[in-house]
Amino acid sequence: MSLTIALAGNPNSGKTTMFNKLTGANQRVGNWPGVTIDRKTGRIRGTDYELVDLPGIYSLSPYSPEEIVSRNFLVNDRPDAVINIVDATNLERNLFLTLQILDTGIPTVIALNMMDQIRKLGDEIDVDKLSRELGCKVVPVSALNAEGIKELVAAVGEVAESGKAPEPLYFDGDIEEAVSLAKEALKGKVPDSTLRFNAVKLIERDEATIKEHPEADEYVGRAVKALETKKDDDADSIIADARYNRITDIVGDVMKKAPRDERGTLSDRIDRIVTHRIWGIPIFIGVIAVVFLGIIGFAWGDFEIVGIGTYCTDWVNDVFFGEWIIPAVTEWCEADGTYSAVDALLCSGIVGGVGAVIGFLPQMLLMFLALCILEDIGYMARIAFVMDRVFRHFALSGKTLIPLLVGTGCGVPGVMASRTIESERDRRITAMTTTFIPCGAKLPVIAMITGAVFPGNGLIAVFCYVMGILLVLISGIILKKLRSLSGTPSPFMMELPPYHLPSAVNVIKGTLDRGWAFCKKAGTIILLSCIILWFLSSYTPGLEYIGDNATSADSILAAFGEAVCIIFAPLGWGDNWELTVGTITGLIAKENVVATFGTLFGIEAGESGEGLEGVLASMLTQSSGLAFLAFNLICAPCFAAIGAMHRELGKWKDTAMAVAYQCLLAYAVALIIYGFTSYIGGWNSLVIDGSVVEQAAPIGSTIAAVAVLAVLAYLLWAKDPFRQLSGKEAEE
Amino acid sequence: MKTLRDAEIGSTVKVVKLHGEGALKKHLMDMGITKGCQIYIRKVAPLGDPVEITVRGYELSLRKGDAEKIEVE
């Protein structure tokens, strides 16, 4: 018979490493039903046991989605056994979850992890004694060094086959009296095996249990009151205190701590500098600057740093695809003497389109590598700690910064990184706004517009990042006023794990996982949209094939662009339908904007050739160029990122709302930029045939921009309609 | 009433009682902040909030607004 084993434990207890060690490569990743939390399952190597990785949690409370998922799985799905992974270097807090797991009555084995660290510290833990006091098997392991894995699997098999429930840890007489009463009230309403778990939760004033069994709650109400009076505290505190007191006793019995170095551990000493009151922020800025300059680079006039990532990406685009793949495919297509529509679809539609996206892979992988290292050594948590104050002011938390940083590489894993934020509201707002930060694919667009209207000005790129961050913060304030995103923010409490050297396996696996997620998108949704877009640009509205490239002025896409370009006229795009078409193709991948212009203006490759910028300078003034750039950076991201947003938001309706919000905001910002900056000297002129032509002041746009600004200001400063439902105002 | 918010950096305090309710109070307890436990206030973030404390042998950061709910002596 195949047995189901759950793997449960605190965040940072080495659960992921343990899961990988137990299952090897044999794992599947999905989502828990109804919530977007990773559900990993796999077969334990050498057995037919199915291992289910529960999300990292501190308790079986019903507050965060992670806790609810874990609790429902243990209580309702009843796995055959639980492996409770416990961080031996942080025994007290880890055992708090253990005590609740033991209450569920499921056969349990404790994997006492990080024993190598314990030895290094010189501490001693009496494993046998711990096992006796907890009433379940305890196996000392080190997931990182693969120590004790065999013993763990054997112990789990034995416990699961026997099916013997662990002995719960009983509380003192007064509490147990109330628990017995609760058991009586719940008898027959819940399965006998979970009777104690539910009874204790009822006494603990657990909201989920009370809601499920209101009669039982009434039955024990008096007893709970009596207990509270007797102990002079709230019932929830009484149970938590009782658990922790018990834990303190056990740990005191089994653990002997070696004296610590007076100066603190190495981690303490590093932390003293990294989160220093004065140096903390400069160090943060320095670290980020090094990562960015090293990977993306920076240019200011003649001064230029070429990032490693940019260098690799250029190579893949220009040499790998430009000189090898595309010519080879073209040659192969033309081998039969013709170049049919199918050949064109393959060459420019699929290879050209998907290739443009894959070209960003090296840059992205390097960015992920850098961020994975920062995460693995424990610096990401410190970034959240140092910067929380800034984000809290805008109703977000410091943890929002992590998706934003990942998003600078690519929006897809950036949106996915929002998953680490506990607060549902913050998580959704972050998933909706992460793509405001310019990702790697947006850089060529920034470079192109800069080259056209502000040649050699590195500040434009800086402006783009600053604008992205500001819009995320502003959105935090605006969006929380919506009904679906209102609600009390959950408390920001974050463990700061000790620093350690990066583990090569974790870093490489993390980098490749994120890169792979991106490749999968490129292979599916991007491929499909490339085909559709190729069709739209290669056929006339009468469905006549016109061949690809320069002739696309007659295409369906051009017709569509011409029809809708009136919408963008207030942004100063004039009647240049090419700009609209470029924006639409940007939905596939943002750098497509550049490629599309190349095609439409009939300019041969070499992404930022002078010809292209010259044509753009005759269409866009400095102001409208900036407005065009802003719109393209903020509006709906590429299809791949929209797909990632959908994964996090859950419903297509919410995803559509999020995209609509992004587009509206993009339009508003572009309008404000064009409406106001056109009056700056020299910002409202086109360059036609080498001569500067001053344009008429956009009075209409300016009036509209004032109105939009007023609306934005209202949204920002209007009273939060849901605030008084919670928080201080309700108390007064 | 003295709360964790008022406690000085570098000092060690003892928890007397948790105020507040619901998710916040439960979360504080889950993280090991219960009556009678010792809290060492390690430092405050560069911008003055949140604070970093040592409780039950590990490092935890929490906001001053939440620290206010922890009565100490």
pLDDT in tens, A552-564: 678 888 888 888 8
Count contacts between A and B (CB, < 8 Å).
123
Q: What integer is the mean pLDDT of B22-29?
A: 88
The pLDDT value recorded for residue A155 is: 95
| Separation in Å, CA of B43 to nearest CA in chain A | 9
Specify the higher pLDDT residue, A592 or A143: A143
The beta-carbon neighbor of B50 closest among A278, A492, A495 is: A492
pLDDT digit string, tens, across residues A170-220: 998 899 999 999 999 999 899 888 899 999 999 999 888 999 999 999 999
Q: Considering only A279-288, A470-479, A522-531, A590-599, which range has the smallest mean pLDDT?
A: A522-531
Show the domains of chain A with their CATH numbers: 4-162 (3.40.50.300), 173-256 (1.10.287.1770)
Q: For A142-154, what is the mean pLDDT?
A: 92
Distance from CA of B3 to the nearest CA of A (A): 17
- B-facing residues of A in 496-535 (CB < 8 A) are 496-498
Q: Is the pTM of this model over 0.90?
A: no
How distant, in Å, are the alpha carbons of A465, A629, A706, B43 from that of A673? 16, 10, 11, 42
Phi-psi region of A197 (alpha: psi -120 to 50; beta: other; left: phi over 0): alpha
Q: Which of A58, A276, A494 comes nearest B61 by C-beta?
A: A494
- Express each pLDDT in A424-474 by its tens digit: 788 889 999 999 999 888 888 998 899 889 887 878 988 999 999 999 999
- Check residue A489 and give its pLDDT: 62
**Domains, in order of start, for chain B:** 12-72 (2.30.30.90)
Over residues A515-524, mean pLDDT: 74
pLDDT at A176: 93
Put simply, the chain A residues between 226 and 245 with a CB less than 8 A from any chain B CB are: 233, 236-237, 240-241, 244-245
The whole-angstrom separation of Cα A671 and Cα A676 is 8
- Cβ–Cβ gap B52/A496 under 8 Å: yes
| Candidates B14, B27, B42, partner chain A, best to mutate (most A CBs within 10 A) | B27
With a cut of 60, say whether residue A551 has pLDDT above it.
Answer: no
Q: Under an 8 A CB cutoff, do B27 and A493 touch?
A: yes
Number of Cβ atoms within 10 Å of the Cβ of A710: 10
- Residue A301: its pLDDT value, please? 64
H/E run at residue B53: strand B51-55
Residue type, A491: P
Q: In the predicted model, is pLDDT for residue A1 greater than 70?
A: no
Residue in A425, A426, A373 with CA at minimum distance from that of residue A399 = A426
For residue A184 the two structure tokens come to 């009586």
Nearest Cα of chain A lies from the Cα of B16 at a distance, in angstroms, of: 11
Q: What does the pLDDT look like over A281-332, one tens digit per residue?
A: 999 999 988 887 888 777 666 777 788 887 887 888 788 887 888 788 888 8
Confidence label for A610 from pLDDT (cuts 50, 70 and 90): low
pLDDT of residue A731: 38
Who has greater pLDDT, A551 or A234? A234
Q: What is the mean pLDDT of residues A364-370?
A: 84
Query: ipTM above 0.85?
Result: yes
Mean pLDDT across A580-587 = 86
Share of chain B above pLDDT 90, in %: 75
The region of weakest confidence among A99-108, A235-244, A361-370, A547-556 is: A547-556
Q: What percent of chain A has pLDDT over 70?
A: 94
What are the C-alpha distances in Å from A79 to residues A3, A135, A160, A686? 8, 19, 9, 70
pLDDT of residue A20: 87
Residue with the bigger pLDDT between A239 and B20: it is A239
The alpha carbon of residue B4 is apart from the nearest alpha carbon of chain A, in Å, by 14
Query: What's the gap in Å between the CA of A120 and the closest CA on chain B?
Result: 16
Instruction: Compute how many other C-beta atoms are within 10 angstroms of the C-beta atom of residue B44.
Output: 17
Closest to A701 (Cα-Cα) out of A600, A606, A569, A598: A569
Closest-CA residue of A relative to B35 is A241
Identity of the residue in B50, B57, B63 whose CB atom sits nearest the CB atom of A90: B57
> Does the distance separating the beta carbons of A61 and B32 come in below 8 Å?
no
Average confidence score pLDDT of chain A:
86
A675 touches A644 (CB < 8 A): no
Q: How far is Cα A218 from Cα A206, in angstroms, rounded to an integer? A: 14
